[in-house]
Amino acid sequence: MKLSVFYSHVKQAAIQRGISLDEAFEYAHSCGIEGLDFDYFDFSDDEAGLVALLKKHQLSVACIFRFYNFPEVEFTQADLSLYDLAARVGCKVVMPLPCVKTGDDVELAWDRMISAEKQMLAYGETLGICTGMEDFDGAESPFRYMSGVRRLMDSVDRFGCVFDTGNFAFADEDEIDAFELLKDRVYHVHLKDRLFRIPSGMTADDGETTLGGRPLFACSVGKGEIRIAEILRRLKAIGYDGYLGMEFFGVKDYYASIAESAEFVRSCL
Quote the mean pLDDT of the chain: 93
Instruction: State the pLDDT at residue 77.
Output: 83
The verdict on pTM exceeding 0.85 is yes
What pLDDT, in 10s, does the model give residues 227-255? 999 999 999 999 999 999 999 999 999 99
* More confidently predicted of 74 and 4: 4
Instruction: State the pLDDT at residue 132.
Output: 95
Q: How confident is the model at residue 107 (pLDDT cuts 50, 70, 90)?
A: confident
Q: Where are the beta strands (DSSP E) in 148-268?
A: 160-164, 186-195, 208-209, 215-219, 243-247
Give the pairing type, strands 208-209 and 243-247. Answer: unpaired
Instruction: State the pLDDT at residue 98.
Output: 80
Instruction: State the pLDDT at residue 249.
Output: 96
What pLDDT, in 10s, does the model give residues 248-261? 999 999 999 999 99
pLDDT at 200 over 90: no
Please give the Cα distance from 157 to 75 (Å, whole number): 19
Task: Name the CA radius of gyration of the chain, rounded.
Answer: 18
Instruction: State the pLDDT at residue 264.
Output: 98
Q: Given phi > 0 = left and psi -120 to 50 = alpha, else beta, which region is 252?
A: alpha
170, HSE (Cβ side, Cα atoms, 13 Å):
20
Kindly state the average pLDDT of the residues 196-210.
89
Output DSSP code: residue 78.
G
pLDDT at 102 over 60: no
Residues 212 and 183 sit within 8 Å (Cβ to Cβ): no
What pLDDT, in 10s, does the model give residues 132-189? 999 888 777 777 889 989 999 999 999 999 999 999 999 999 999 999 999 999 999 9
| Closest to 102 (Cα-Cα) out of 141, 160, 74 | 141
pLDDT at 25 over 70: yes
Instruction: State the pLDDT at residue 97.
Output: 86
Q: How confident is the model at residue 214 (pLDDT cuts 50, 70, 90)?
A: very high
pLDDT at 72 over 70: no
Q: Give burial (CB, 10 Å; 0-12/13-18/19+) of 95.
A: buried
Instruction: State the pLDDT at residue 44.
Output: 95
